[in-house]
């Protein structure tokens, strides 16, 4: 009765724990291996990196696109648990101004694990950017209670478990 009177709604409980899958196929490595201090020193948050074997980036979670850089080299997703995930394809790829990148989503889109986000030309990135290593960072790491990392030699995009996290509530 009070819910009706005060306009309160029954909301499905937001999950606090979540599995994040690899957004690219390739070798999963520690963030400290990324040859860029912004990522290796975890200035933007904690996570892992992938040395990709193909140029298709898929959603690692069910969630919403909250940021998509106009150069299409990086994308931000808010997961169902509230984790904010940045996928930054390659290093110094912003200078490519979108060349070699195709976006398949836009800000505000809802996505599911495995939905295609970005296609990119890895050979062009190797030629024009500093590195193809792709950091995946939880940018709101201060809201994460625990983060379990899964290193893998042959991760398959959208299928291999990558991170398991528990958000603070």
CA 150 – CA 84 distance, rounded (Å): 18
Other residues' Cβ atoms within 10 Å of the Cβ of residue 67: 13
Q: Which of 53, 106, 50, 49 is nearest to 77 (CA)?
A: 106
Active site residue 70: no
Question: Is there a contact between 51 and 63 (Cβ–Cβ < 8 Å)?
Answer: no
- Name the active-site residue from 11, 70, 88, 104: 88
Q: Can you read off the two tokens belonging to residue 66?
A: 């909250």
Catalytic residues: 88
């Amino acid at each position: 009765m009070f819910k009706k009177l005060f306009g309160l709604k029954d909301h499905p409980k937001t999950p606090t724990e979540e599995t994040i899958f690899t957004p690219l196929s390739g070798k999963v490595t520690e963030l400290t291996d990324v040859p860029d201090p912004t990522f290796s020193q975890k200035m933007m948050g904690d996570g892992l990196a992938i040395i990709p074997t193909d140029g298709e980036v898929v959603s690692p979670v069910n969630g919403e696109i909250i940021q998509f850089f106009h150069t299409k080299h990086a994308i931000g997703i808010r997961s169902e648990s509230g984790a904010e995930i940045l996928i930054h394809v390659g290093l110094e790829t912003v200078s490519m101004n979108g060349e070699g990148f195709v976006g398949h989503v836009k800000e505000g889109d809802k996505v599911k694990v495995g939905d295609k986000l970005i296609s990119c030309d890895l050979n062009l990135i190797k030629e024009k950017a500093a590195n193809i290593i792709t950091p995946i960072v939880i940018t709101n790491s201060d809201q994460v209670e625990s983060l379990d990392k899964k290193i893998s030699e042959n991760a398959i995009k959208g299928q291999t478990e990558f991170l398991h996290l528990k958000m603070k509530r």
